[in-house]
Structure 1
Amino acid sequence: MDGSEPYREPRKRTRIVQACEQCRARKVKCNGEHPCLACWQHNQSCRYQEAPRTRGRSSKRLKPKAPTPLSPGNPTSTSSSLRGNGIGDRKVASTCTSSDRGPARYSPEEYRQQLELRAGIAVSNRQTGSFQFYGPSSHFCLIQRIYQRMKRQSHGRLLDAPKATDATGMGESGLERFMFAAGSAALRPLGSSVDSFLSKDMGYQFIAAYFTVIHPHMPVLDQGIITQLWDQLWDAPAPGREMKSKDLVYMTLALGARTMAREDTNRAQMLDNWADHFWAQSNDYSMLFLEPSLKGIHLLLLKAMYAFHGMRPNDAYLFLGHAARSVLALGLNRSQVANGPGAITHKLRVTFWSVYYYERLCAFFTGRPSGFLDIHIDVSLPEDTTHSSRTTLLDATRGDTDGPSTECAFLRAMVGIGQLIEKVSSELFSLANVQTLYSQRKVDTAILECDASLQKIQRTLPPYLHFFTRDRPRSELWREIQCAHLGLAFHLIKMMIRRPALVHCTVAQAQGQSLAESQTLEDLQPSIDLSIQSAKEIIDIAHSAIMDRATCMRNDVSVANYIVSACVTLLYHVLDPLTVEHAKNIFSSVERGIHCLDQMEHHGPMTEKALSMDIMKCAKDALLLSTIEKSLEEEMTDNFPWLK
């Protein structure tokens, strides 16, 4: 042993004098409680032998010290003799009969409910063999809960079938097409690439569309540099000259084609073809995964954003996961690498924190763990800069050559939301703390702390980011886009903080039991109301941006992910409406969400109104299988004709 190492006294091991019969039979460790932890987790009866077991030699040694037989009139002698053998008061209760035992500390049924609240959904692609798991915070899992509740299935279905090859709700709603990659053929360049040429002016339009729609909420690229790289692609070839960073240009063009306005069907098809073409041209990952670089991280961010626009959260999760590993490999999470004055270190911080909050959001969307640990991050947040540069957000959206400043208030607020996501995931949705969740005080404390963090973020926002103010003055386009994205993320987290209370309706509510008949559900009603209110706010913010304040956002399909999550949450709540007016109110918000999806000119692998039709079908199923009386269904369909 090294002499400099201090001596540590060995930790004393707690000895369990008597194990229950189940643990003894299975030869596992017993904690001596009643019921013990092993029996409680396996929902088994926990029994202890009435008399302690004796062993050959030790019994002979203890035989002279054995107490005399007890008389019926001396009930206290048992406790004295057991204490003399080293068994404390707590173990006295363990040796009593079942009728003498006090109430169990944990209820096996409650434990199973807590596990079910945090159960996810597993899906597989039979054609490719791909297998994916989505956790309880994903809207895919909530859609499965909708069908589970519609069919009045057992509350243990997600736990009892964790390895199901497919999911009923996913198949019936057609959402499995959003879970898996488009196919191996799409990963290779298209065969007609040598015969296809994009005009230089059209390339400028694609680049401008990217910096108008996407750059405000992912400010990692420089419009001037991307434009120069696009110009270099048109230069005459020269010996020894190799075009670098062309993958960044291709992905910028691909996303620009996705976000351009589509006046007619022919133009939409043409833009989609160009987007797929440039995306396929940048699919060489051989060096990207082996040699981390700043340009490689930017490319991974663009790939993840393209996956968001294809509504493929699994692809985005994988790209952002590798981007997270790359920034950690480069040390951008450390102050000694990315802190300091200057444009270069500022760009490093902006890149790191952009990867951070997008990776956290995507992990939360899919119900999966994040690749970041906050305890390993000490780099400072990006600050506002006051220099003349074409890298400013204002320049990117207006095309100015000189801008007043780069404002990072949006980025700092999104980082705060990303940090809060870790707390929500670990304390409300994680299985690791399922035993501590029996303390309702601890759960309430976690919720209050999350609410306080959200309020703190809200108080520090500048006026142009006040998404909660309906009559705020109209601002520049890039500010309106930032405000909308911040409001959507803010209310998503606020909605998810209370989602366990909403899902508890399926897990704990008995078949045929109304909400008013369950005292437990009555206690959860305030949390359910707050979750529903945040879902409505998401739809209102998206509707205001798409229809009025930032109409170009109808080409930003990443917004559709928020709208779908909000609509699914509202439809889940309408399965057991309190009143018909309550149901009408819910369907009015869903109708606004469908209207937003109808206005979006591209959403995922399906065009036109496919996504809104999916929501309509889900809403119709929710109405038909809800507790609303048949006589009132006609009234609902009269108010909402699309339900027909």
Structure 2
Amino acid sequence: MDNGHVAKACESCRKSKTRCDGEAPCERCRRRNSDCSYRVKARNRQRIHRRVTNPASASPKTHSEARRHSPAGSPTPNHEASDVLDSQAPSHMQMRDDNVYQSVIATHGDESSSAEHSRLFYGPSSQFAFLQQIHRKVLSSDLQKQSSQSDVQDGGPGLDLFRQRSIFFGTPSRISPRSNHTSDSISSTVPLSQAKDFLNRYKTIYCGVFPLFTDTELDDLFRHLYDEESENVLTSHTKAIALAILANGGLAAGFTNLAEKLFVMANQEAIFSLDVVSLPAIQLLILLSEYQNNMGRPNSVYLHLGVACRKALAMGLHRESNATSTNPNNVSKRQATLWCLYFNENFQSLALGRESAIKMADISTPLPSSHTVLASLCKLAHIAEDGARVIYGLRHASLGKLYVAAEEIHVRIREFAAESGIGSPGFANRHKIPDGIASLIIHNVYYHTILLTFRPFLIAESALPSTQNNVSPQQVWLRQASRYAVNAAQDSIAYASYMFQKDDVCRSSRYNAFFLDASCVVLLFDILQHPSKHACNVEYIQMALLALSSMDQDEPVTTCSRSIEQTLRIVERTISGQRTDSAARDFFALTNHPLHWHPQQSHQAIQFPSLDPNLQNSADQLIQFRDLPGSVGEELPQVSEMPSGAESNGCFANPYSPYDIVATDLYNFFPVNNISPYDPVHFAHGEDINP
């Protein structure tokens, strides 16, 4: 590298404080196979004493946090567009200092017993935090009066109402962890013929996506596991890996109880090497986390991956070293293990709204070019990592600024899709990725990344005062941002449904239920905001329920199905009541106004009136949304059917009474009142993806 002075360093080198050669791309970014971008607008730094004395400057805490969470290769913000938004925003529309990013927390068990009491936190990007918005919207008649200044809100009532508590805290184990299975023979637990089916199922689903082991290595491991007379005696750690592989395969094959026993046996074998820092130790934790992921235990997934990241950092797996082995197979295996860990850790952290333990800025090891599916997932996870920082990790002065940041992330997502052959942007290169389960996994992550990028704008649009619901043409970008999220949810459901019909293997991964559930919740929230879209969105929700019904009817699939059905019933009941109240108000206003009173025209003021002209016009004859075709159920469950604890606390005696409920408040998370007119030059059109 030239020792001369470089006028400008790329964003990746600047943020990692690494010397840059000023090329495009620079040597470091080219070696890491990452994006290399340069700041377009020069920064005018203030002197230290000016920054301290300037009362309008941002707090040092905000800047330090932003720098600490800024990964290498992150997008350069469009400062010029942001400056335009700021200049057009009135001074009273600046974001207040007490606005916070709000999350959800819940407790489980008896608080008097520390051993049985559990308390979990999920951040604003999590599914549980967004689900609380529906909880808040259906249980409140005056949303604007329910603001709270607390960073974290109690989400317990919402979890009970929408039947999500078991996933929030993790589905209970079917095998007691206290039972000792170390002396059990593997052949007596799983017959050889059945074990072969489990192994083949694992190969079909995981080997092409997460290449931790080759087919030959798996066959050898399987042979030694069942060959009791073999001279190659397996160590406890190697045996734990073999059991974890069979557990994942058994779960995918639908043998949940047997898979649970294999999972417990794998954990009991691994207990003898908890402090071991090695490649197999990291691979085992990835396998265990994948099992827990498909069993609906997100918190356990986060803990397993966190330990795996600590071991990877302790091993130096994230740093490229000249002292590495010259064996190319060992190098490839280390790379594959590291990037499998990176993808799972970052995507799971984003989905749970928690901080990830390893970021792209920490890694200098190149992407595994020989594993195209894994490389594509890691590139997408990198974009999602930047999106989490920009959308959920930084404070923006206005909602328009947030939209500019989201659009920059969206541009990168579309460029990735076009290059990788994903969705409508990648139609020309649609044959670049393998078909089947690999394609479904990439598309699920792709659509969910778009959904998380633009889902905040659904809340922002809903939180607008009623006088601002009719957004001006200059603010059409807010509706466009909401459409991005809704379109991504619909496309995700449509593609998953298509793949379920095309390939039976796609239905065996239970984690698909998470993506279907997340998409349905977005569509249900959209129905609450726009009841006229009920018929269209319910069509996709029914498609998702049909897809879930084609999967193994076991946890967590059944929980997701029940939750979607319950939420749909509540939403339909809510919008039906809104229609009735609105029509009644319009009717009485019309009949009491002297300029508009006419006995033959009073029916025109009622929305969805009865089609029978002989009936008297009243709110009782309105067509109710719950009677529309496609409704999952007619009535809400009685209070006695609610989970334990809900009835005793009196939370659901009248679930539609306008009292102040303790729920997640994400409305303060977004600068809703800071809408700035947006320049049409930066307007981007949505995408419709028809599989």
What is the TM-score normalised by the length of structure 1?
A: 0.71
Q: Does the alignment pair 1:126 with 2:109?
A: yes
Change (3 A) 1:624 1:202: same
Residue in structure 2 matching 1:137, options 83, 108, 125: 125
Of residues 131-140 and 440-449 in structure 1, the stretch that sits farther from structure 2 once superposed is: 440-449
* 1:93-113 deviation per Cα after TM superposition (whole angstroms, max 9, x unaligned): xxxxxxxxxx9956577555x
Give the match for residue 658 of structure 2: none
Residue in structure 2 matching 1:206, options 191, 198, 204: 198
Change (3 A) 1:541 1:250: same
Which residue identity lines up with residue 123 of structure 2 in the other structure? Answer: G
Secondary structure at 2:120 match in 1 = strand
**Displacement of 1:588 after TM fit?**
0.7
Secondary structure at 1:574 match in 2 = helix
Change (3 A) 1:619 1:340: farther
**Displacement of 1:147 after TM fit?**
0.6
Give the match for residue 167 of structure 1: 156
Give the match for residue 552 of structure 1: 505
Give the match for residue 350 of structure 2: 364
Q: Does the alignment pair 1:629 with 2:579?
A: yes
Secondary structure at 2:106 match in 1 = strand
Give the match for residue 281 of structure 2: 296
Q: Does the alignment pair 1:329 with 2:314?
A: yes
Change (3 A) 1:132 1:513: farther
Contact 2:208 2:373 in 1 (8 A): no
Secondary structure at 2:169 match in 1 = coil
**Displacement of 1:253 after TM fit?**
1.0
Secondary structure at 2:529 match in 1 = coil
Change (3 A) 1:375 1:191: closer
Partner Cα distance (2:572, 2:501) in 1: 28
**Displacement of 1:340 after TM fit?**
7.1
* 1:517-542 deviation per Cα after TM superposition (whole angstroms, max 9, x unaligned): 78897551110011100011110111
Change (3 A) 1:447 1:209: same
Q: Does the alignment pair 1:509 with 2:464?
A: yes
Partner Cα distance (1:480, 1:163) in 2: 40
Which residue identity lines up with residue 509 of structure 1 in the other structure? Answer: L
Contact 2:377 2:442 in 1 (8 A): yes
Partner Cα distance (1:334, 1:16) in 2: 38
Secondary structure at 2:190 match in 1 = coil
Which residue identity lines up with residue 638 of structure 1 in the other structure? Answer: L
- Unpaired segments ≥5 residues, structure 1: 1-10, 18-30, 39-102, 263-270, 385-407
Change (3 A) 1:163 1:334: closer
Secondary structure at 1:221 match in 2 = coil
* 1:136-193 deviation per Cα after TM superposition (whole angstroms, max 9, x unaligned): 1111111111111112264585844556665211111121111224558733446798
Give the match for residue 224 of structure 1: 216
Residue in structure 2 matching 1:617, options 563, 566, 569: 566
Partner Cα distance (1:107, 1:514) in 2: 14
Change (3 A) 1:541 1:191: same
Which residue identity lines up with residue 278 of structure 1 in the other structure? Answer: L
Residues matched between the structures, number: 507
Of residues 619-628 and 129-138 in structure 1, the stretch that sits farther from structure 2 once superposed is: 619-628
- The percentage of counterpart residues that share the same residue type is 19
**Displacement of 1:208 after TM fit?**
0.6
* 1:374-400 deviation per Cα after TM superposition (whole angstroms, max 9, x unaligned): 22211111122xxxxxxxxxxxxxxxx
Change (3 A) 1:539 1:182: closer
Of residues 526-535 and 333-342 in structure 1, the stretch that sits farther from structure 2 once superposed is: 333-342
Change (3 A) 1:162 1:455: closer
**Displacement of 1:439 after TM fit?**
4.8
Residue in structure 2 matching 1:563, options 499, 506, 516: 516
Change (3 A) 1:486 1:576: same
Partner Cα distance (1:622, 1:183) in 2: 29
Secondary structure at 1:643 match in 2 = coil
Residue in structure 2 matching 1:378, options 364, 368, 380: 364
Change (3 A) 1:472 1:345: closer
Residue in structure 2 matching 1:150, options 131, 134, 138: 138
Partner Cα distance (2:553, 2:324) in 1: 37
Of residues 371-380 and 146-155 in structure 1, the stretch that sits farther from structure 2 once superposed is: 146-155
**Displacement of 1:473 after TM fit?**
8.7
Contact 1:297 1:327 in 2 (8 A): yes
Change (3 A) 1:37 1:212: closer
Which residue identity lines up with residue 250 of structure 1 in the other structure? Answer: L
Secondary structure at 1:363 match in 2 = helix
Name the larger-Rg structure: 1
**Displacement of 1:515 after TM fit?**
2.9
Change (3 A) 1:206 1:322: same
Change (3 A) 1:286 1:250: closer
Change (3 A) 1:207 1:526: same
Give the match for residue 177 of structure 2: 187
Q: Does the alignment pair 1:352 with 2:338?
A: yes
* 1:444-477 deviation per Cα after TM superposition (whole angstroms, max 9, x unaligned): 442232122112212322x5x667678999999x
Contact 1:144 1:168 in 2 (8 A): no
Contact 1:233 1:243 in 2 (8 A): no
Partner Cα distance (2:153, 2:551) in 1: 34
Change (3 A) 1:339 1:621: farther
Secondary structure at 1:124 match in 2 = strand
Secondary structure at 2:121 match in 1 = strand
Partner Cα distance (1:485, 1:619) in 2: 26
Partner Cα distance (1:454, 1:289) in 2: 39
**Displacement of 1:33 after TM fit?**
6.1
Give the match for residue 387 of structure 1: none
Give the match for residue 428 of structure 1: 391
Change (3 A) 1:451 1:469: closer
Which residue identity lines up with residue 362 of structure 2 in the other structure? Answer: H
Contact 1:310 1:603 in 2 (8 A): no
Give the match for residue 526 of structure 1: 480
Secondary structure at 1:498 match in 2 = helix
**Displacement of 1:601 after TM fit?**
0.6
Which residue identity lines up with residue 330 of structure 2 in the other structure? Answer: I
Give the match for residue 242 of structure 2: 249
Of residues 145-154 and 617-626 in structure 1, the stretch that sits farther from structure 2 once superposed is: 145-154
Contact 2:497 2:543 in 1 (8 A): yes
- Unpaired segments ≥5 residues, structure 2: 1-46, 61-88, 111-115, 581-607, 609-621, 635-691
Task: Name which structure has the greater RCO, CA cutoff 8 Å, separation 6+.
Answer: 2
Contact 2:221 2:242 in 1 (8 A): yes
Partner Cα distance (1:248, 1:633) in 2: 59
Partner Cα distance (1:558, 1:617) in 2: 20
* 1:596-634 deviation per Cα after TM superposition (whole angstroms, max 9, x unaligned): 1111114535x6x44312201101101111265245654
What is the TM-score normalised by the length of structure 2?
A: 0.66
Q: Does the alignment pair 1:543 with 2:497?
A: yes
Partner Cα distance (1:309, 1:16) in 2: 51
Change (3 A) 1:475 1:109: closer
Instruction: Kindly report which structure 2 residues correspond to 1:63-74, keeping only aligned pairs within 5 A, or say none.
Output: none
Give the match for residue 13 of structure 2: none
Contact 1:216 1:482 in 2 (8 A): yes
Of residues 515-524 and 203-212 in structure 1, the stretch that sits farther from structure 2 once superposed is: 515-524
Which residue identity lines up with residue 223 of structure 2 in the other structure? Answer: D
Partner Cα distance (1:502, 1:132) in 2: 26
Which residue identity lines up with residue 126 of structure 1 in the other structure? Answer: G
